[in-house]
Amino acid sequence: MARWVLGCPECKQDFTHSEITPEQERQEFDSFLNSINKPQFPASGLELECPNCRHKSVYYRHQLIKTCAEIVELSAPPYPHSQKKRIS
């Protein structure tokens, strides 16, 4: 599911601000921006706590990023083909 995310300046991890339902995608689509409208924030910003590191920061509407990807940590080792091979 699509979502609005913010990036924590302390731990550098993204966290979800809000999810975007398919119904919102259809109803709020702005053809000029080729996206849906961002949620409203107060002009003075919105103080939120990062759920990862608990650091509090003030965020502004322009910092919201729309993503369709799940936020997951990769624990698998790199692909074997990505390692350089020595040719003798």
1-55 pLDDT tens trace: 889 999 999 999 999 999 988 888 777 777 776 677 889 999 999 999 999 999 9
CA proximity to 58, closest of 71, 38, 43: 43
Residue 11 located in a structural domain: yes
Residue 65 located in a structural domain: yes
Range of the domain at 38: 2-72
Q: What is the pLDDT of residues 46-81, one digit of tens each?
A: 999 999 999 999 999 999 998 886 555 455 555 555
pLDDT of residue 43: 95
pLDDT of residue 15: 95
Residue 80 located in a structural domain: no
Residue 33 located in a structural domain: yes
CA proximity to 65, closest of 16, 25, 13, 29: 16
Residue 79 located in a structural domain: no
Predicted TM-score (pTM) above 0.85: no
Contact by Cβ (8 Å): 48, 56: yes
DSSP 83: S
Q: Which residue has the tokens 């993204």?
A: 14
Contact by Cβ (8 Å): 60, 66: no
Residue 77 located in a structural domain: no
Residue 78 located in a structural domain: no
